[in-house]
Amino acid sequence: MGETGRRLTKYKCYIGFYDFSKLQGKFFGTLAKICGLSNITHVGPIILIPGVGEISITICEGKIVDGFYKTTARVHKEGVLERMGAVLVHRKYVGEFVFDLEDVMRRAETYTDAHPWDMLFHQFIGRFLGLVRPRACSSFVCNLFKLQEYWHPASIYRKYK
């Protein structure tokens, strides 16, 4: 444990590039493909945990709470996302990182409250007005792994594949 009670551990980490269109629904899944000019519609960290295996963290599932769309982070063991309908198109090893996995999960759970409509508004209007980008799966992954930030998952894929 570190000085503040955190459990810092070194993990082998990957970026998972997914076609999430089936999980995003026909409308939003199709628009995500059009906006990115790619079938890559989601990125997520894949973390190898010794003795457990690989986990994927997704921050794209959500629900309306008190009138606001709130995301909730989910941890999926290897293969679960694929059984749900996601397609892992590519994975990129990004190195070993030292962090507190519980802290990463806490940050993921509160990372964004953006709805897919917020993403579309920014894609087609907000970015031209200089509005701040909604935080999404792509910015979460870039921040976690200290990469240059990209707006769309397909942009990260094209840069790092």
The string of pLDDT tens digits covering residues 52-68 is 899 998 886 566 667 76
The two tokens of residue 19 are 């076609």
Q: How far apart are the first and last CA of the chain?
A: 35
The pLDDT, as a whole number, for residue 103 is 92
User: Which of 78, 12, 91, 92 has the alpha carbon at shortest distance from 49?
Assistant: 12
pTM of the predicted model as reported, rounded to 2 decimal places: 0.81
- pLDDT-derived band of residue 9, with 50, 70 and 90 as boundaries? very high
Residues recorded for the chain: 161
Percentage of residues in the chain having pLDDT higher than 70: 87
Domain ranges of the chain: 9-160
E strand or H helix that includes residue 140: helix 137-144
Q: Is the dihedral of CA 134, 136, 138, 141 positive or negative?
A: positive
Say whether pLDDT at 28 is over 60: yes
